[in-house]
Amino acid sequence: MNMQTPVKSEAIVRLEGVVKRFGEFTAVERADFEIGRGEFLAIMGSSGCGKTTTLRMLAGLEDPSEGNIYLDGARVNGKATWDRDTPMVWQSLALFPFLTVQENVEFSLKMRGVSTAERIERARKWLDKMQILEFADRNVSQLSGGQRQRVALARALVTEPKILLLDEPLSALDAHLKVRMQAVLSNLQKDLGITFVYVTHSMSEAFSMADRVVIMSRGKIEQIGTPQEIYHAPRNRFVAEFLGSANIFTGKLVEKSGDLWQVETAHGRFAVKAGPTPVKSVGDTVSFVVSAEKMQISAADTGVPGLRARVVGEEFVGASAIVFLETDAGEELKVQKSHGELASIDLHSGSPLNLHWEPEACHVLPGE
């Protein structure tokens, strides 16, 4: 039922009807997807959507209530985390404060019975790779946020696993450092060629780093796809709203001529250019999105047919501005334009404007 893009290579992880319940509460409701070898997959959603639970099931920190998880072809249900090669980077980083930086990195090698000499050599190699070799003998508490991040990565990667799990590792960093660490993570993943599964609530983190993104809400997977696919073709209202689109219209499909549809909404009849995916017949209810950048805006008295709405406010976003509007029915709409395009328009709160768009600017939500 999900709009799935096939994984780019052979799968390293496969989730088959995975359900996780905590008592009465269902944290994950039937997760079915694959993660490719060498893929950077982000699992995104707001708090409580089940993204962390999904990651913890991959790590072996939670066992699924139903369904199967396959790692590298083998079913791993019930297999303890210490018997898997699925190192994880915690949101809190979970570095051992009673060990030095180097001892932290050596930890999992020590647990595997690697000899002291080899342990030191491998740990130092990773500290060097993460550019923190000079802090090897320091106490973890004396490092900055970014340096600690690097220790956590080195500690997880020192055993050279095939997959790395990351649970919102950047959420504690300030904006500047966050962007820098995103680049570090991206490059690291490309260099190593291993699979990264990255849980986050931040769209910018997910979309800037991931090959594919899984969007979850209340335990359900809403959409899986590349950032471009999801951005340009959200599957349903939830995903569209999650990505920040406000301009969602719902109406009845009254006429089809090829892929040019006529949709009768509360605001009038609109021509919609439907893509190849949605399967709808005349009489069906249809929802479509018009992205904020593709909306045209003009003064109310120009006589162009369209939708009337009143200005609520304006927000500056660098070189452009987002105008927030409201229809008489109370529906919220957003238009994003350059300052130049908006210069001639009266944007005082309450002033009426006319909105219109090309049929090609519409995207029909296939999952609605």
Is residue 147 a contact residue for other proteins (CB under 8 A)?
no
- 106-142 CB burial, b ≥16 within 10 A, e <16: bbbbeeeebeeeebbebbbebbebbebbebbeeebee
- Residues numbered 44 to 83 that lie near other proteins (CB under 8 A) are 59-61, 80-82
Specify the residue, 109 or 272, whose C-beta has the smaller distance to other proteins.
109
Specify the residue, 28 or 89, whose C-beta has the smaller distance to other proteins.
89
Contact 269, 362 (CB under 8 A): no
Residues 183, 199: Cα–Cα separation, whole Å: 16
List the one residue from 52, 86, 245, 336 that touches other proteins (CB under 8 A).
Answer: 86
Contact 213, 227 (CB under 8 A): yes
Specify the residue, 107 or 324, whose C-beta has the smaller distance to other proteins.
107
* Helix (H/G/I), strand (E/B), else coil: 209: helix
- Residues numbered 101 to 140 that lie near other proteins (CB under 8 A) are 101, 103, 107-108, 111-112, 137-140
List the one residue from 68, 142, 204, 351 that touches other proteins (CB under 8 A).
Answer: 142
Residues contacting 32, CB < 8 A, separation 6+: 2, 15, 16, 17, 18, 221
Which residues sit opposite 352 in a β-bridge? 310
Specify the residue, 166 or 362, whose C-beta has the smaller distance to other proteins.
166
Is residue 155 a contact residue for other proteins (CB under 8 A)?
yes
User: How distant is the alpha carbon of residue 125 from its chain centre?
Assistant: 32
Count of CB atoms situated within 10 Å of the CB of 45: 25
Residues 324, 292: Cα–Cα separation, whole Å: 10
List the one residue from 99, 120, 184, 300 that touches other proteins (CB under 8 A).
Answer: 99
Contact 252, 264 (CB under 8 A): yes
Shortest reach from residue 59's CB to other proteins, in Å: 6
Shortest reach from residue 2's CB to other proteins, in Å: 29
The size of the interface with other proteins (CB under 8 A), counted in residues, is 31
Shortest reach from residue 22's CB to other proteins, in Å: 14
Is residue 173 a contact residue for other proteins (CB under 8 A)?
no
Specify the residue, 162 or 218, whose C-beta has the smaller distance to other proteins.
162
Residues 310, 299: Cα–Cα separation, whole Å: 11
What are the structure tokens assigned to 347, written together? 């944007």
Shortest reach from residue 27's CB to other proteins, in Å: 17
Specify the residue, 7 or 158, whose C-beta has the smaller distance to other proteins.
158
Residues 180, 170: Cα–Cα separation, whole Å: 10
Residues contacting 24, CB < 8 A, separation 6+: none
Shortest reach from residue 164's CB to other proteins, in Å: 11
Contact 286, 259 (CB under 8 A): no
Q: Binding string to other proteins for residues 5 to 44, with x set by CB under 8 A, is what? A: ----------------------------------------
Specify the residue, 135 or 207, whose C-beta has the smaller distance to other proteins.
135
Residues that bind other proteins (CB under 8 A): 59-61, 80-82, 86-88, 90, 92, 94, 96-101, 103, 107-108, 111-112, 137-142, 155-156
